[in-house]
Amino acid sequence: MIHFRYPDPRDCYGKGLAPLRAVLASAQLGSQFVAYKRGLWENAALPGVVLTPDGPLGDEERERLEAEWNAKFRKGGNGRVLVADSSLKVSVVQNSLADLAALAEAGATKEDIANAFGVPMAYLTRETNLANLQAADRQHLGLTIRPRLRRRDQRLTRTLARRADETGRLFFASDDPTPVEREFALKRQELDTAQGVRTINEIRRERGLDPVPWGDKPWIPSGWKQTE
């Protein structure tokens, strides 16, 4: 059995610290936030409006007024006109979400969990564009995927490869997941060829092409010469 551990700043020689364990409090707070919000909306026990007559009403009159109001304004009746036969004061009841906002500000957000796993926030928001997504891809591959692949390969090399070869010549290595900028690579090849840094055959070999007889020597501009 091979254990892949993440270092624990509190105990360098311990069992390690998983990313989710590091943000367990934030994850639990996020779950409680969702449960609290659901319970608030399902069992708020708050009416939409409060009708206050000027004088006292009997039970029958109160039930008649309530039934008339619900029949006229519920569902598709929103926005209709009601002409009352008595003086009424209408108070609209709105649920304040200030406490939920305070809970969200206290740390019940997805940003803490995303940072623990190295996931860019551009993946988790709609307020982004193509340039931000491309930058997030490079960030995720370079700062999250590549270090984890190297850590995994190092662990496999220590636990498996060293048992088969004590000289250290065998090792595990993964391909670099970061994409190569095609325009930058082509520009670099062009500059290396124009300044005599690399030969034609060297570039052809990288592209999987056969060498050419005239490609073993660098091409240097005719006006260039070495200084003594």
Domain segments of the chain as ranges: 47-94, 118-177, 180-228
- Quick check: 157 and 172 in contact, CB under 8 A? yes
Rounded Cα–Cα distance for residues 96 and 85 (Å): 32
Residue 31 CB neighbour total at 10 angstroms: 11
Rounded Cα–Cα distance for residues 196 and 87 (Å): 95
Average pLDDT over residues 102-110: 55
* Confidence check: pLDDT of 99 > 80: no
pLDDT tens readout for residues 131-185: 888 888 888 988 899 889 998 898 888 888 878 877 778 888 888 888 766 677 7
- Quick check: 49 and 93 in contact, CB under 8 A? yes
- Quick check: 86 and 69 in contact, CB under 8 A? no
Angle formed at CA 189 by CA 219 and CA 175, multiple of 5 degrees: 135
pLDDT tens readout for residues 41-55: 676 556 667 777 777
pLDDT at res. 109: 67
Q: Which of 17-21, 193-197, 199-203 has the highest mean pLDDT?
A: 199-203
What per-residue string of b and e applies to 121-158 under the rule 16 or more CB within 10 Å gives b?
ebeeeeeeeeeeeeebeeebeeeeeeeebeeeeeebbe
- Quick check: 78 and 2 in contact, CB under 8 A? no
Q: Is the dihedral of CA 2, 3, 7, 12 positive or negative?
A: negative
Task: Name the token pair of 65.
Answer: 């007024």
